Amino acid sequence: MTPEEKVQQYLEDGILPEESDELRHLLEDDDLYEAYLQYERIDAELKALPRPKLSDDFTARVMASLPDAKVRVEVAPVTRLEDKVRPKRKQHSQWMTWFRKHPGLIAAALFFSLMSSATLGLWNESTETMTYTKVPGIIVTSKEVVIPKGVTVDRDITVQGGDLRIEGTVNGNATAVHGRAYLASAGEVTGELEQIDRMFEWIWYSFKQIF
């Protein structure tokens, strides 16, 4: 087992008192310490994910998509009592062990895959016509939405299929989908300024909006 795999195992299975010195010694390596911090951040983000709100027929749809299991019955050969040996303990793969430890994440992944087909249609539509968050004071052209200097928008603003130019203030998040987001020197965004031009980024953005 490599040192990095040991650090990951400590994070997944917990640390025994007698193992704390070994972990402290491993973390003296800068690369391992950075990997340890990254694992902790990922673990914290996974625990912070809200429980997905699944539809009433979610379980039925997932079960319907699984192939029918075919049971095969085999007759064990007859062995003498003295020939029998103690069966070996079944070894589960690391993936199966990880799945058992994170059932909530698996449910979220299934929900995410079902939602992706719907967001794909919205992604294609966003390239055809420009849509935007309607707020007072903004200037709209055929392919650009401008927040002029001196105008303050007290909410999130999103432009799809066009550019977003911020010369004033946005007290929230500003997002441009299938377009560019420009922040002038006098402009200000108190939240996140995002420019989404890839399919995965759009799916993740749509997923965050649900929760």
3-state secondary structure of 153: strand
Token digits for 121?
């249609």
- Per-residue confidence at 121, pLDDT binned at 50, 70, 90? low
For residues 50-70, average pLDDT: 61
- Per-residue pLDDT tens over the stretch 151-198: 999 999 999 888 999 999 999 999 988 888 999 988 999 999 988 876
Spell out a b/e string for 75-102, using b for 16 or more CB atoms within 10 Å of the CB, else e: eeeeeeeeeeeeeeeeeeeeeeeeeeee
Distance of CA 39 to the CA centre of its chain: 15
Token digits for 171?
């007290």
Q: List the beta bridge partners of residue 175.
A: 158, 194
- Eight-class DSSP state of 144: E
User: Which run of H or of E encompasses 127?
Assistant: none
3-state secondary structure of 9: helix
Are 175 and 162 within 8 A, CB to CB? no
Distance of CA 101 to the CA centre of its chain: 17
Pairing of strands 188-189, 169-170: parallel
Which residues lie below 8 Å from residue 105, measured CB to CB, with a gap of 6+?
A: 46, 49
The pLDDT value recorded for residue 150 is 93
Token digits for 79?
């062995």
- Per-residue confidence at 2, pLDDT binned at 50, 70, 90? confident
User: Which run of H or of E encompasses 35?
Assistant: helix 30-48
DSSP assignment of 95-126:
HHHHHHH-HHHHHHHHHHHHHHHHHHHHHHHT
User: Which run of H or of E encompasses 206?
Assistant: helix 199-210
The pLDDT value recorded for residue 156 is 93
The pLDDT value recorded for residue 138 is 93
